[in-house]
Amino acid sequence: MPIEQSGCGTFRTKPVPRWGLLALLALGLSAPAAFAQNNLSGVPSNACPSPQEWQQATLMQLAAWAEACDDNAFFHAHRGAQLLALSQTDAAAVSLEKALLLNPDLPGAQLDYAQALAQIGLQGSARAILQNVLQRPDIQPNLKAQLSTVQTGSAAARVGSAPLWQWNGMIQTAYGRESNLNSATHTDSLTLYLSNGPVTLGLTDNAKPVAGEAFKSTAALQGVMRGAGGQALSVNLTLAAKTGAASVNGNNRTAEGALKYSLPMLAGNASGFWQFTAGGTEFWLGNQTAYQDQGLQLKYAWDSLGAACKWAPAIGRIDQQFPQSSTLNGVYTYGRIDWVCSSSKNQETYLALGGGQDKAQDISRPGGHRERKDILLRHEQIVNMALWPVVSGQLSAWLRYAHSQDKLAYSELLGDLKSSTRRTDLGLGYWVPVTKQWHIGLNLEATSQKSNNTLFNLKNSSFYMGVRWAND
């Protein structure tokens, strides 16, 4: 299962051993008592099919009987076990949890629920449930011995061996064309307010947008190490470069890195984890560093079992430096909330809303302090072409909107102008698998930045086609 949306990549947990036989053994411990409780609850005998009928039913039939068997703990335990066997882990956890809410003394459901929690990454909660089962006075000796072996073996593995890193990597290269390779201002002239009145200056050709071809390449490495109690430490590294551009200012490189520590906090229907992130970025324009930052973030990811959407509030701070013009340096403090919604395994939608203040480190910074607001919307979907399966692939669409507002006038030469800038980025990508690890595809992007300060007006559109290798 993926461990984070917001973030920097996707990792999958290793499957845990199935306890199906142990669950069947444990199921017999409390069957008479549970059935007696069900018969005394006043539910008509024909309202819910018999256990013999459950055994022969498909998942679709079980779903149809869910309302009639709503008060039957054994029905939900059976349905959850079937869902778990078919790797529908989230749905299984919801059904098994309902069984235990109706009858907490079902060891079979407890074991299946522990397995479901382990598979979705809540190993600490799974081990706690297993420990509770071992404390039962009515547990069969042979079952207790088997469960003790499982628990002891897991503990010995955690203590006797060092945690192992799991690594994923991705390399991508593409060739394409942009309408504004040098990120030049999208204006022909600039009005300056001098002592003798306003003067309009025309921009030279080398200050205008330059269209042309270029290569864009990206390499990413992601690793995760899991510890006791569901703790996790992850490392994310990304290198990106645009080369081969006819315009000198069109060539650039970016390096990003982040270290994340995750700690589970709750279990059951409302689970979640704290995540602390430390990271940084460096951007080179040509051979010179044009920008660099270092940041810290604290986030709590809230995960309700069975819910289609998960949300995570976060706060953070980023120290920004501009080595070629230190008066632009600032500190950005922000708050943000992320939503990740998955209606199925084939699609996912991510929404992030954030905002904060970029405080100037130098009182002479143009524009002074700055307010910022950001919106990011991204949708990923697997597209199956029934008529032409060879082009079935992954579709990605994204929209980013940002607004910044200066507190002070940007420059006396521009008059009493407090810059207000809005930027919109639109993107569309489609990648088709050639083999399990190799993909071919294309990316389309469009950028529009509009401001009352014509220095910040910008437009760019790009089209790239390339190849990608990933070992996820």
pLDDT tens digits for range 58-97: 777 787 788 888 888 888 888 888 887 776 777 788 888 8
**CA-CA distance, 136 to 144, in Å (whole number)?**
9
Average pLDDT, the chain: 79
Q: Is residue 15 part of a domain?
A: no
3 falls within a domain: no
Backbone angles phi, psi at 408, to 5 degrees: -125, 170
Which 8-state DSSP code applies to residue 112?
Answer: H
Selection from 412, 325, 317, 315 nearest residue 362 by Cα? 325
User: Which position has the higher pLDDT, 419 or 53?
Assistant: 419
- Chain centroid to Cα 21, Å, comes to 35
Same structural domain for residues 172 and 84? no
259-289: string of b/e by CB count within 10 Å (b at 16+)?
A: ebebebeebbeebbbebebebebbbbbeeee
Residue 368 lies in a domain: yes
The pLDDT value recorded for residue 248 is 63
Q: Are residues 346 and 201 in the same domain?
A: yes
Give the relative orientation of helices 89-102 and 107-119 as an angle to the nearest 10 degrees: 150
Residue 365 in any domain: the answer is: yes
* C-alpha span between 201 and 440 (Å, rounded): 46
- Report the amino acid identity of residue 428: L
Closest by Cα among 92, 102, 93 to 69: 102
Tell whether 173 and 136 lie within a shared domain: no
Query: CA quadruple 85, 87, 89, 91: dihedral positive or negative?
Result: negative
What integer pLDDT is reported at residue 304 of this predicted model? 62
Q: Last residue of some domain: 122, 139, 160?
A: 160
HSE (side-chain half, CA atoms, 13 Å) at 299: 26
pLDDT of residue 413: 82
The predicted pLDDT at position 79 comes to 85
pLDDT for residue 256: 98
**Residue at a domain's end among 160, 183, 198:** 160
Decide if 241 is inside a domain. Answer: yes
150 and 207 in one domain? no
Distance in angstroms (rounded) separating the CA atoms of residues 297 and 4: 14
Least confident segment among 189-203, 374-388, 399-413: 189-203
Question: Quick check: is 7 in a domain?
Answer: no
Cα(87)–Cα(18) distance, rounded to whole angstroms?
11
Q: Which two tokens stand for residue 347?
A: 């699609």
For residues 173 and 151, state if they share a domain. no
- Would you state the pLDDT for residue 14? 34
- Looking at the fold, whether 250 and 372 belong to one and the same domain comes out as yes
pLDDT at 365: 93
Share of the chain above pLDDT 70, in %: 73
Of 447, 118, 178, 225, give the one whose Cα is nearest residue 96: 118
Look at residues 131, 160, 189 and tell me which one is the last residue of a structural domain.
Answer: 160
The DSSP output letter for 367 is T
- Give yes or no for a contact between 379 and 349, defined as CB atoms under 8 angstroms apart: yes
Over residues 190-203, mean pLDDT: 69
For residue 42, what pLDDT is reported? 38
What's the CATH number where 182 sits?
Answer: 2.40.160.40
**79 vs 430: which has the higher pLDDT:** 430
Read off the DSSP letter of residue 67: T
CATH of residue 65: 1.25.40.10
Domain total of the chain:
2
Question: Above 70 in pLDDT, residue 151?
Answer: no
Nearest residue to 431 via CA among 420, 419, 421, 442: 442
pLDDT tops 90 at residue 321: yes
User: What are residue 464's DSSP bridge partners?
Assistant: 176, 443
- The lowest-confidence range among 1-15, 226-240, 361-375 is 1-15
Does residue 262 share a domain with residue 409?
yes
**Helix or strand holding residue 402 (H, E):** strand 393-406
Q: Which residues, 6 or more positions from 271, have their beta carbon under 8 angstroms from its beta carbon?
A: 122, 125, 264, 303, 304, 305
d(CA 472, CA 469): 10
Residues 456, 318, single domain; the answer is yes
User: 290 and 361, same structural domain?
Assistant: yes
Q: Is the pLDDT confidence value at 359 over 90?
A: yes
Residue 37 belongs to domain spanning: 20-160
Lowest mean pLDDT among 75-84, 118-127, 326-335, 370-379: 118-127
pLDDT over 80 at 232, yes or no: yes
Same domain, 346 and 216: yes
Q: Is residue 6 part of a domain?
A: no
* Residue found under tokens 């207790």: 144
DSSP string, 120-186: TT-HHHHHHHHHHHHT-TT--HHHHHHHHHHHHHHHHHHHHSPPPEEEEEEEEEEEEEES-TT---S
Hey, what amino acid is at 366?
P
Place of tokens 């397995």: 115
Q: Show the CA angle centred on residue 40, arms to residues 34 and 46, nearest 5°.
A: 95
Measured between alpha carbons, how far is residue 402 from residues 283, 324, 373, 399, 423 in Å? 20, 25, 6, 10, 5
Whether 278 and 234 share a structural domain:
yes
- 239 and 332 share one domain: yes
User: Tokens in use for 189?
Assistant: 């002239």
User: Is residue 5 situated within a structural domain?
Assistant: no
> 53 with 79: CB under 8 angstroms?
no
Find where tokens 């845990």 sit.
16
Its pTM stands at 0.66
pLDDT, tens only, 260-274: 999 887 544 456 789
